[in-house]
Chains A and B, each alone.
Chain A
Amino acid sequence: MKILVCISKSPDTTAKIAFTDNNTKFATAGVQWIINPYDEWYALVRAIELKEKDSSVVLHLVTVAGADTEPVIRKALALGGDEAIRVNADSQDSFYIASQIAEIARQGGYDLVFTGKETIDYNGSSVGGMVAELLSLPYVAQATHFELNGNTATITREIEGGEEVCEANTPVVVSCQKGMAEARIPNMRGIMAARTKPLKVVEPVAADSLTSIVNFELPPAKAGVKLIPADDPGELIRLLHEEAKVI
């Protein structure tokens, strides 16, 4: 049983969002990078749990990123996993990234490919589906539960107003979100072990980029809050009805 978990980096959730170079680039100065929370808390931890249940499981991590991402991927290895592969390319196009991951997955012959639900910076929620299509594998997105029985996976996915339980045979690609697992923090032993785990660097294969970022914008500032006295909630309801027209 071989599992591949896709790990991306994202700015810390408290990072100030600002742009440089005429609003064409994210201002990275002083930004703390973390493992994208969906990749860490749900995809990676669920894969580690599967490995803990069955020690024959081989768990690999893959990231498509420049060398500056290595501390992030080491942190992921400190949580668990046998080795990491970094595809040495810095791209923001989902199809380009998916093409690289698909190539790694093809070569490694994985039974399960886990991604996060989405990256919290780009919010594409796209890479997993693209990888699945490139590999002609079934895909379940936004999974909240994942159980494996032999080569049958039982997966719960979130849908509008409820959930759907489905079954698919491995190999399968799954994008993971809250519910899959409980977040963990790396322990000292894991951190020490991660230092010597293999982190392979491979060069990207030729692939197209289908999109490009023209520029970024910040939302217009709020006009400021209108405070209503606590003893006059009727005024709030009046404003919501007559001024904002939302009720």
Chain B
Amino acid sequence: MSVLIFIDQSEGHIKKASLEALCYGSKLAEQIGMQAEGIVLGSVQDDLPALGQYGVKKIHHVSDPQLDHLDAQVFTNVIAQAVQATGAKIIVFANNADGKTIAPRLSARLKAALVAGAIALPDAANGFVVKKSVFSGKAFANIALNTEIKIIALNANSFPAAASGNAKAEIIPFKATIDATKVKVISTNMVKGEVPLSEAEVVVSGGRGLKGPENWGMIEELAKLLGAATACSRPVADTHWRPHHEHVGQTGLAIAPNLYIAIGISGAIQHLAGVNRSKTIVVINKDPEAPFFKAADYGIVGDAFEVVPKIIEEVKKLKGVA
């Protein structure tokens, strides 16, 4: 019996969210006395055996290039075959774009209970209960998975991806029946040179307080120095100061980085909903009454146009950048 972890890749590279899923799945397997195995579909450039450092013992690889792009129906069918072949009892996904597309299908296919958005290891002592984020991060629900096979989709940044030792995973070619693709990928447009917001450990975010798109230079500079992604509040995206994919909050992306720096953002409840799972929140706002300060760990009451350039200088000092 095994815990089967879906290893998500894009253009041959393993996604960071999958490393977290691997660590989570391996820890879970250890907890309940099962073996952690991975499954990866399509052509891979990264060093697969090295994923053994994340606790996985075997990786089933279906290397057919037809699987280089996602068609959830085709993927579900292949994963279902792997579940059967390995006798997997728990399947772990990252709750990212691909995970959100495949996991529900697999759940319906296998009639296996799914918890999407898990943030902690299951409590397997009383039934099988997994904590998930609900109300856009404003609360948690403990969900019982009441079927023999169970599926967990893990939220990003909920479980640390830590490599340890130098164990190598055994790579096992897996032969599967692959259906004809019905969803054909025409093009992929990646935002080059930027850290994907959903995977970023540090996020620098700006709101309407920045007055206009021409003032984002300092936000981008600070983000670059910190290896951070940039984000924004909804009105900023709505007025096209910044691209839509940067919009965080209840109706945008929900993120949980280690550090979220909010500059010129008031902290409306809908904005907080998407960011309040961040481990550390820094707020820079000229209004001491801004609601965001109530949700912050550190704050500076001041004018962003004066404070942010000084912060940039301090970060440069810390990083030893001239």
Contacts and interface: CB of A to CB of B under 8 A. Distances in A.
Interface string B184-203: 11111111001111110110
A234 interface: yes
B297 A38 contact: no
Interface stretch (B42-50, B165-173, B311-319): B311-319
Given A230-B306, A233-B310, 6 more contacts: A120-B251, A125-B104, A166-B184, A216-B140, A219-B277, A237-B317
A208 to B, nearest CB: 7
Give 5 closest A-B pairs by Cβ, nearest first.
A129-B104, A230-B302, A161-B196, A162-B190, A133-B108
A138 interface: yes
Interface in B257-302: 258-259, 269-270, 273, 276-277, 279-280, 282-283, 293-302
A240 to B, nearest CB: 7
A214 B202 contact: no
B139 A218 contact: yes
Contacts of B107: 94-95, 126, 129-130, 133, 210
Interface of B: 10, 15, 17, 69-73, 76, 95-98, 100-109, 111-117, 127, 129, 131-147, 182-191, 194-199, 201-202, 226, 237, 244-245, 247, 250-252, 254, 258-259, 269-270, 273, 276-277, 279-280, 282-283, 293-303, 306-307, 310-311, 313-315, 317-318
Contacts of B131: 217
A94 B114 contact: yes
Interface residues of A, number: 79
A134 B133 CA distance: 26
Contacts of B71: 138
A129 B100 contact: yes
A240 B318 CA distance: 11
Contacts of B111: 95, 208, 210
Given A13-B250, A213-B142, A233-B300, A132 B187 contact: no
A210 B113 contact: yes
A106 interface: no
B280 A225 contact: no
Nearest to A10: B135
Interface of A: prevailing SS: mixed
A178 B307 CA distance: 32
A160 B199 contact: yes
A222 B108 CA distance: 39
B134 A246 contact: no
A161 B199 contact: yes
A226 B136 contact: no
Contact of A128 (B104, B115, B298): B104
Contact of B145 (A13, A137, A158, A210): A210
B314 A141 contact: no
A113 to B, nearest CB: 14
A210 B132 CA distance: 16
Contacts of A11: 135
Given A165-B189, A179-B244, A132 B251 contact: no
A138 B73 contact: yes
A73 to B, nearest CB: 20
A234 B136 CA distance: 34
14 contacts: A17-B135, A129-B100, A129-B101, A214-B129, A217-B131, A217-B141, A217-B142, A219-B138, A222-B297, A225-B299, A230-B300, A233-B300, A233-B310, A247-B202
